[in-house]
Amino acid sequence: MRHMPIKLRGLTKTLLLFSLFASLAGCGGAEATASGSAPTPVSGHEVSETVSESAPSESAGEIDIADIPEYSGSPYVEVSGNVPSFTDADLSSPAETYTPLDSLGRCGSAMAIVSLETMPTEERGSIGMVKPSGWHTVRYDDLIADRYLYNRCHLIGYQLTGENANERNLITGTRHLNVEGMLPFENEVADYVESTGNRVLYRVTPVFAGDELVARGVQMEAQSVEDGGAGVSFNVFCHNVQPGIEIDYGTGESRRSQTAVDAGGSDSDVHSEGTAYILNIDSGKFHLPDCPSVGKMADHNKRDIACAYDEMIANGYSPCGNCRPMIGAVHERERSRPETD
């Protein structure tokens, strides 16, 4: 089912504003749910210090972390029925807006009208000099495929606007957030723009709890413009988590889960009783041994696990949607309904 299109009043007048795409800008967030102050525009890809009077209005659909279900295996959950909360005013905003860092050094909302013109034409540059709020360089070689817990996560992905070391567009995010949560939605937008030449309203808002330095996740909204959302339309919250790792969101410190399955450890590190599973340490999903997906895994991502289904879920891992390990779990405990993918 397609979502309600944006109501475009004065469309002809609005479209004239896109001749000004060389002038780019940044968008604000709400206190206690999303960090940030008044939006500041950017010129090209350089951050300006001048506040834009034409900055997008605050999203009516910004969320509070208290309203988001706890992580239960899926990298994201739908928000507000998966319907984005853009307004007519957002369509007449600058092509890019990035909220100034708040007093704790945290990012706020970032918004773009993604088009072929905003997409990068040069090779991606270095971003290693940026240290987002809550940043720590920490490795878990046996639990994470590329070892490092944190990525410098672009709010608006590089492939959409070509932003490199823009501190207002980079947060401390787990590899799971970056790859499993955000990337599929970024790819959806990029693929649509490249295949149609149309534009997409796109907003990403980091969601913090109180004064915590690491976001609990990000709200991602998108809606295609020319077709009123028929091509792209979503409103989701992606969890900033990493299976098997406990994160102190106040500081960014981390540790293995108390009962974490040590994917690279000895038998003493996992439960000796339970069901046999195959764990993909790259995706964080676990499979039954005869699942067809197991044969497609790279050997370095594959781990044999003997563990109770409930404990796998408690450790932050998610069941494969094809082989449905939940079916085997009925031998561990009774269930009245099947697991939801």
β-bridge mates for residue 254, sequence order: 247
Contact 312, 286 (CB under 8 A): yes
Distances 227 to 73, 196, 258 between C-alpha atoms, Å: 33, 11, 49
Query: Which pLDDT tens digit goes with each residue over 279-296?
Result: 888 888 888 888 888 888
- Cα(57)–Cα(38) distance, integer angstroms: 10
HSE-up of residue 302 (Cα within 13 Å, Cβ side): 12
At residue 307 the predicted structure's pLDDT band, cuts being 50, 70 and 90, is: confident
202, with CB counted inside 10 A (0-12, 13-18, 19+), is buried
What percentage of residues in the chain have a pLDDT greater than 90?
Answer: 50
pLDDT for the residue numbered 259 = 59
Specify the 3-state DSSP secondary structure of 83.
coil
- Cα(258)–Cα(148) distance, integer angstroms: 19
Query: Which pLDDT tens digit goes with each residue over 12-60?
Result: 333 333 333 333 333 333 333 444 443 444 333 333 332 233 334 455 5
pLDDT for the residue numbered 339 = 31
Domain boundaries, the chain: 11-254, 263-329
Domains 11-254 and 263-329 share a fold: no
- Cα(35)–Cα(47) distance, integer angstroms: 18
H/E run at residue 16: helix 11-16
Contact 48, 76 (CB under 8 A): no
- Cα(223)–Cα(228) distance, integer angstroms: 7
- Cα(114)–Cα(168) distance, integer angstroms: 17
Tell me: pLDDT of 237 over 90: yes
Residue 131 has which token pair?
């240290």
Pairing of strands 110-114, 245-247: unpaired
- Residue 14 phi/psi, 5° resolution? -65, -40
Tell me: pLDDT of 327 over 70: no
In angstroms, how far is CA 104 from the centroid of its own chain? 21
Query: What is the CATH code of the structural domain delimited by 263-329?
Result: 3.40.10
Distance between terminal CA atoms of the chain?
19
Instruction: Tell me the fold of 11-254.
Output: Extracellular Endonuclease; Chain A (3.40.570)
Among candidates 174, 200, 210, 202, which has minimal Cα distance to 316?
174
For the question of whether the overall pTM of this predicted structure is more than 0.95, the answer is no
Among candidates 250, 262, 268, 267, which has minimal Cα distance to 315?
262
Query: Which pLDDT tens digit goes with each residue over 175-186?
Result: 999 999 999 999
